């Protein structure tokens, strides 16, 4: 991977010189698992390392200049970003001015120019020859951990890391093909018998202890509980769950995550209900190719999930924006034929910040610009989508006779797992 040698050499130099290293993370499952992987690896090497994960509501997404300035003032000489950083020019430029070396590990799409970091690990950078382009943020972090630990990395250590890497990989909905499929397969296998008490407590509150865990279980039972911390309170709970050695404390954290997830579900249903009511009372929205909704006081921790449910319900690209004190923080989800990041780039002059992928993205903007965004987003959607693209399609892989649905057939299908983007669960039809 491009810049891997530079990143490893700089971190090893920091370890030798006893320099302070700050891991700058993100609050979703992919980001927190990436923090856990590199925190564990760097601690094993004796690094003076601490972590910072932005608070979703007070800090927002991405690397912030004030946090970099505070890190420099506190004596940190290296800032290591995980699942973020590829577009954070201002923060990284400021770090450079203050004599702080930034190492970026990220998997989001870069913009036209790479930031001025000491090293940038991202398989999507144009000059990177790493063959797996669809790694998650924690997948990229794991590559760095492997390189750092190479002389002492045992098979048992790899198996331990893969459980965490699989959680972030599946939760971030990256294609489960190639290296991601290998990560998911072996990581899921290891979840059946977790060694760490924090992971065991999480599986227990999710009702999964002692049974085979599937990709669906991660997506619908484990990831929502892990995400609930960053959505409703602080994602630091997730780091503590995976790094503390006190069984009593990790059990308390797992139970708190379970409670936060129930609270998240209630808030999510309330916002979705308001959007459904808007759709029913404003019939002009029905004929649109895209959907944009903004609401005062909508909890910014759940707008991404709401956007996903809106996109699925109406089969339209959807932006959902929480507004507070005149500022909007939004999240978008898309449909197969619509590249969301390209759409946001088309509307880029309206945003303060934006970034993401083809199917999911986030942004901030002044609340007064939401009507302009609605117009610009709809104009772009009408230019790239056809009416047929807005109709949900049922994909059928094969027609099958009911008498062929035997236990042997079921066992053969299991060989195709884990399922997810790029390797969907097979769909059969019978007459």
CATH of the domain at 21: 3.90.1640.30
* Of 191, 207, 224, the domain-final residue: 191
**Which tokens belong to 60?**
């927002």
Question: 324 and 403 share a domain?
Answer: no
Q: What is the CATH number of the domain that holds 296?
A: 3.10.310.30
Mean pLDDT of the chain: 95
**Which tokens belong to 196?**
């760490």
Question: 10 and 139 share a domain?
Answer: yes
CA distance 344 to 361: 8
Cβ neighbour number for residue 195 with a 10 Å cutoff = 11
CA distance 222 to 169: 13
In 3D space, the residue among 353, 348, 372 whose CA is nearest the CA of residue 363 turns out to be: 353
Give the DSSP H or E segment for 294.
strand 291-296
Question: 386 and 402 share a domain?
Answer: no
Q: Is residue 167 part of a domain?
A: yes
**Which tokens belong to 111?**
């913009």
Question: 148 and 48 share a domain?
Answer: yes
pTM of the model: 0.88
Q: Is residue 75 part of a domain?
A: yes
Tens of pLDDT, residues 103-135:
999 999 898 899 999 999 999 999 999 999 999
Q: Is residue 324 part of a domain?
A: yes
**Phi, psi (degrees; rounded to nearest 5) at 419:** -100, 150
Q: Is residue 315 part of a domain?
A: yes
Question: 306 and 187 share a domain?
Answer: no
**Which pLDDT band holds residue 233 (cuts at 50, 70, 90)?**
confident
What range does the domain containing 417 cover? Answer: 398-429
Question: 81 and 146 share a domain?
Answer: yes
Q: How far is CA 228 from CA 144, 222, 261, in A?
A: 27, 10, 5
Question: 420 and 386 share a domain?
Answer: no
Instruction: Supply the DSSP symbol for 125.
Output: S
In 3D space, the residue among 30, 99, 90 whose CA is nearest the CA of residue 63 turns out to be: 90
**Which pLDDT band holds residue 136 (cuts at 50, 70, 90)?**
very high
CA distance 301 to 304: 7
Is it the case that residue 297 has pLDDT exceeding 90? yes
The total of structural domains in the chain comes to 3
């Amino acid at each position: 991977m491009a810049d891997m040698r530079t990143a490893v050499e700089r971190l090893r130099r920091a370890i030798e010189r006893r320099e302070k290293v700050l891991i700058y993370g993100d609050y979703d499952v992919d980001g927190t698992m990436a923090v856990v992987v590199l925190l564990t690896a760097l601690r094993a090497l004796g690094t003076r390392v601490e972590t910072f994960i932005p608070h979703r509501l007070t800090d927002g997404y991405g690397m912030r200049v004030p946090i970099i300035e505070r890190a420099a003032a506190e004596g940190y000489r290296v800032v290591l970003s995980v699942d973020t950083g590829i577009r954070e020019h201002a923060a990284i430029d400021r770090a450079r001015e203050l004599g702080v070396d930034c190492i970026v590990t990220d998997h989001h799409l870069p913009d036209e120019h790479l930031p001025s970091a000491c090293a940038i690990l991202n398989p999507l950078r144009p000059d990177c020859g790493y063959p797996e382009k669809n790694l998650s943020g924690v997948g990229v972090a794991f590559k760095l951990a492997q390189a750092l630990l190479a002389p002492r990395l045992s098979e048992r250590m790899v198996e331990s890391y893969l459980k965490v890497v699989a959680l972030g990989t599946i939760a971030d909905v990256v294609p489960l093909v190639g290296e991601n499929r290998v990560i998911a397969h072996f990581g899921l296998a290891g979840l059946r018998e977790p060694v760490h008490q924090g992971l065991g407590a999480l599986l227990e509150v999710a009702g999964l202890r002692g049974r085979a865990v599937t990709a669906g279980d991660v997506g619908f039972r484990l990831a929502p509980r892990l995400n609930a911390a960053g959505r409703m309170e602080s994602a630091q709970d997730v780091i503590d769950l995976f790094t503390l050695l006190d069984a009593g404390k990790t059990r308390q954290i797992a139970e708190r995550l379970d409670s936060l997830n129930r609270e998240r579900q209630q808030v999510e249903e309330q916002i979705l209900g308001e959007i459904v009511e808007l759709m029913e009372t404003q019939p002009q929205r029905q004929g649109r190719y895209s959907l944009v909704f903004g609401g005062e006081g909508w909890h910014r921790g759940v707008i991404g999930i709401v956007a996903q449910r809106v996109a699925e319900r109406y089969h339209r690209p959807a932006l959902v924006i929480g507004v507070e004190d005149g500022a909007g923080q939004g999240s978008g989800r898309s449909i197969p034929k619509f590249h969301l990041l390209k759409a946001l780039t088309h509307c880029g002059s309206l945003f303060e910040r934006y970034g993401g992928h083809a199917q999911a993205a986030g942004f901030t903007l002044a609340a007064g610009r939401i009507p302009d965004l609605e117009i610009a987003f709809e104009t772009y959607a009408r230019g790239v989508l056809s009416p047929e693209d807005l109709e949900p399609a049922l994909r059928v892989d094969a027609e099958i006779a009911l008498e062929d649905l035997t236990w042997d057939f079921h066992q053969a299908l299991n060989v195709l797992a884990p399922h997810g983007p790029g390797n969907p669960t097979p769909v059969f039809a019978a007459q």
